[in-house]
Amino acid sequence: MSKADQTRKFIIEKTAPIFNKRGFAGTSLSDITTATGLTKGSIYGNFENKEEVALAVFKHNTAKLWKKKEDWISTYTDPKSKILALVDFYRKNWKEIFEDGGCPVMNTGTESDDVMPKMKERVNLTVKNWIKNISTILEEGIAQNTFRADIDTSEYAQLFIMIIEGGILLSKISDNPKSLYLAIERTEKIILEEVIL
């Protein structure tokens, strides 16, 4: 890794929690320089502007969360265990997610909706990949005659994401995991009653 790449990585890692907690608008250049100990010139010598830093940070934050999820699910081999493990991931890891500022996809997606087209495009791609990953597990279950053959895998994947993300949102703003637990329980109920044979 070149020195420039190391510096970019350092800036991303140091500012990742700040952007996820405060958002793009709430993170100032002075926040970035304070967190990194670098000058404004060093920051803009490695990134074109604050939006480019934020985009790199979003990629970093989502990759970090995805890896944790993938590691959690990869211990299981059958589709039923995988889909239930995906839901259980949030039950067991919500404290860490909340301490990191919440879900980076929801945080960034909400803020970038109408004001940062490049960021919105990246969030949209991330959500599409998320839907595809869940759909793949559901399709494996259908192929193995574990899940109902008539389910729309993409619709269920979207539904699971919406319910859990909604639970995260309500729990985060109330500082109480009750809504997330309710979302997790409801998602499990749907899986057990509507998906699994």
- What is the model's pLDDT at position 2? 87
How big is the CA angle at 127 (ends 70 and 147), to the nearest 5 degrees? 60
- What is the model's pLDDT at position 78? 95
Domain residue ranges of the chain, discontinuous segments joined by +: 60-195
Q: How confident is the model at residue 190 (pLDDT cuts 50, 70, 90)?
A: very high
Min mean pLDDT across 41-55, 72-86, 98-112, 126-140 is at 98-112
Read off φ and ψ for residue 185, nearest 5 degrees. Answer: -65, -40
Q: How confident is the model at residue 5 (pLDDT cuts 50, 70, 90)?
A: confident
CA distance 171 to 52: 30
- What is the model's pLDDT at position 94? 87
Tens of pLDDT along 105-133? 988 988 877 778 888 999 999 999 999 99
Task: Report, as an integer, the average pLDDT of 1-11.
Answer: 89
Determine contact, residues 191/84, Cβ cutoff 8 Å: yes
Does domain 60-195 fall under CATH 1.10.357.10? My reply is: yes
What is the residue-averaged pLDDT of the chain?
93
CA distance 109 to 92: 24
Give yes or no for residue 140 having a pLDDT over 90. yes
Give the DSSP letter string of 111-172. Answer: HHTTT-HHHHHHHHHHHHHHHHHHHHHHHHHHHTTSB-TT--HHHHHHHHHHHHHHHHHHHH
Task: Report, as an integer, the average pLDDT of 6-28.
Answer: 92
Determine contact, residues 86/134, Cβ cutoff 8 Å: yes
Q: How confident is the model at residue 17 (pLDDT cuts 50, 70, 90)?
A: very high
Tens of pLDDT along 20-43? 999 888 999 999 999 999 999 999
Question: Which one, of 16, 77, 6, lies nearest residue 42 by Cα?
Answer: 6
CA distance 177 to 183: 10
Give yes or no for residue 139 having a pLDDT over 90. yes
CA distance 3 to 9: 10
By residue count, the chain amounts to 197
Determine contact, residues 195/151, Cβ cutoff 8 Å: yes
